[in-house]
Amino acid sequence: MSFERPTFRHPQQAKNEAGYTRKDYEGAISTLCAGCGHDSATAGIIQACFELNVEPHRVAKMSGIGCSSKTPAYFLGRSHGFNSVHGRMPSIATGANMANRDLLYIGVSGDGDTASIGMGQFAHALRRNLNLNYLCMNNGCYGLTKGQDSATADKGSAGKKGVPNPYASIDLCELAIELGASYVARGFSGDKKQLVPLIKGAFAHSGLAFIDIISPCVTFNNTSTSTKSYEYVREHIEATNTFDFIPLQQEILADYEEGTSQAVTMHDGSIIHLHKADSSKDVTNRLIAVNNLETEKAKGRLLTGLLYVNQEIMETHDIINSTLRPLNSLTERDLCPGNQALQKINDSLR
């Protein structure tokens, strides 16, 4: 029982500016259930990498345990990666990031991996504002162990077993804003038009970018009684605003009428243009951002889009003033600067 993906691709498949086709960002064929939201989230990552001309060998993929944590095998087959212990993705990512700040870090986790066993790790990565793209594929259940409710399952929601969840749920986005993440967004695996720009914005952002990707579990949690089914999410989705992501090298072609949009310049010079509709929400203020989430929740709506962005918060390297160079490029002379340097330090302490 196995199937493979043909090697042929569309002959008119475009190349990006880095010279890669979409195929160069693919990984192995997915072994997740047919229809799993995670596969769509994976395709969103591939699309974002392709569009941003990411060089596959400059990416490190980190993950924990779970259906979601399997996905790094299904994208960027020619990148670096580490599949860690359950819930320990943030600490592995922290270590890697400390050793080499030049790579693009994609941490993939799930609602179990993040909101249960890995909650402590999650909290501290947020607090340090680690320069990491933390993508949580959130389906509200433990798919790998037959669909038990997870900590993000909404109260009253029932999956395939039919028993409503009696506990309150954890809102990972609120938590992320609360604990110090500098870029917080929510997407839906069934809407790549929104998801791909969110991922691209995260990649351009310096600091912890957290994206809660609602990603239905088609096998255990896609029932009419679940709040994380394709149908329910589509019916209850609300967006902060739509936005364009404009990479640094790209000319701004769209005409933005004054007062109708807000531009946020990212650290790498890219710009996010937030389109203000009547119902649009301010996403640069932490208080308002949390308020937005709570307001929509009270109305029974699920708020998606870019929820909060703050370019002022320093990322871990800047906080601890660490070396700009990857550790493996430091020579003996850099690490042992000699007796004179030591004397200087000793003198400063006298």
Partner 1 sequence: MKPTNIEDPNYFHKVIDCQYACPSHTPVPEYLRLISQGKYDEAFKINWISNVFPGILGRICDRPCEPACRRSRVEDNPVAICRLKRVASDYKSADISFLPIIPKEKNGKKIALIGAGPASLTVARDLLPLGYEVDLYDDQSRAGGFIRTQVPSFRLPEKVLNEEVDRILNLGVNTFFNHRVNSLKEMLDKNYDAVFIGTGAPRGRDLPNLPGRDEADASVFIGIDYLASVLYRHITHSPSKVLVLGGGNTAMDCCRMAKRLGGDEVKVLVRSPISDMKASPWEIEDAQEEGIPIIENHSPVDFVVKAGILVGMHFQKVAAHYDDEGKRSLVPTDEPPVFIPCDQVILAVGQQNAYPYLDVELEMNKWGLPVLDELTHQSSIPNLFFGGDAAFGPKNVITAVAHGHEAAISIDLYCQDKDLHDRPEPITTLISQKMGLQDWLYDSHISDDRRYAVPTVDKVKSLKNRLVEVELGFSKQTGHQEAMRCLNCDVQTVFDAVTCIECDSCVDICPESCINFIDNASEAELRKNIMIPANNKEQSLYVSAPVATGRVMVKDENVCLHCGLCAERCPTSSWEMMKFTFNSAQAGQK
Our CB check for partner 1 shows the closer of 13 and 339 to be 13
Alpha carbon 126 to its chain's center: 12
SS3 159: coil
Rule CB under 8 A: is residue 58 a binding residue for partner 1? no
The binding track of 153-192 with respect to partner 1, each residue x by CB under 8 A or -, is: ------------------------------------xx-x
Of positions 28, 31, 85, 231, contacts partner 1 by CB under 8 A? 231
Q: Choose between 4 and 312: whose C-beta lies nearer to partner 1.
A: 4
Number of residues that bind partner 1 (CB under 8 A): 36
Q: Which stretch binds partner 1 (CB under 8 A): 10-18, 114-122, 173-181, 243-251?
A: 10-18
Q: Does residue 224 belong to the site contacting partner 1 (CB under 8 A)?
A: no
Among residues 16, 18, 33, 53, which is the contact residue for partner 1, using CB under 8 A?
33
> For residues 230 and 333, what is the distance between their CA atoms, to the nearest angstrom?
57
| Residue 13 touches partner 1, criterion: CB under 8 A | yes
Least spacing, CB of residue 302 vs partner 1, in Å:
16
Residue-wise DSSP of 185-246: EEEETT-HHHHHHHHHHHHH-SS-EEEEEE---TTTS-STT-TTSHHHHHHHEEES-EEEEE
What minimum distance in Å lies between the beta carbon of 7 and partner 1? 6
Which is closer to partner 1, CB of 30 or CB of 316? 30
Nearer to partner 1, 3 or 249 (CB): 3
Q: Does 9 bind partner 1 (CB under 8 A)?
A: yes
Distance CA 322, CA 334 (A): 13
Cβ atoms of 134 and 160 closer than 8 Å: no
Task: Compute the distance between CA of residue 152 and CA of residue 172 in angstroms, rounded to an integer.
Answer: 8
Q: How many CB atoms lie within 10 A of CB 161?
A: 13
* Measured distance CA(262)–CA(229) in Å, rounded: 33
Q: Tell the smallest beta-carbon distance from residue 275 to partner 1 (Å).
A: 18
d(CA 292, CA 289) in angstroms, rounded, equals: 5
Among 110, 147, 201, 216, binds partner 1 (CB under 8 A): 216
Choose between 270 and 304: whose C-beta lies nearer to partner 1: 304
Q: What is the nearest approach in angstroms of partner 1 to the Cβ of residue 304? A: 15
> Cα(188)–Cα(304) distance, rounded to whole angstroms?
8
Contact 341, 277 (CB under 8 A): no
Instruction: Indicate whether 15 belongs to the interface with partner 1 (CB under 8 A).
Output: no
Contact 110, 139 (CB under 8 A): yes
4 binds partner 1 (CB under 8 A): yes
105 token code pair? 């870090």
Q: Which of 20, 24, 27, 42 binds partner 1 (CB under 8 A)?
A: 42
Cα gap 294→242, rounded to integer Å: 20
Residue ranges in contact with partner 1 by CB under 8 A: 1-14, 22, 29-30, 33-37, 39-40, 42-43, 189-190, 192, 216, 218-219, 222, 230-231, 234
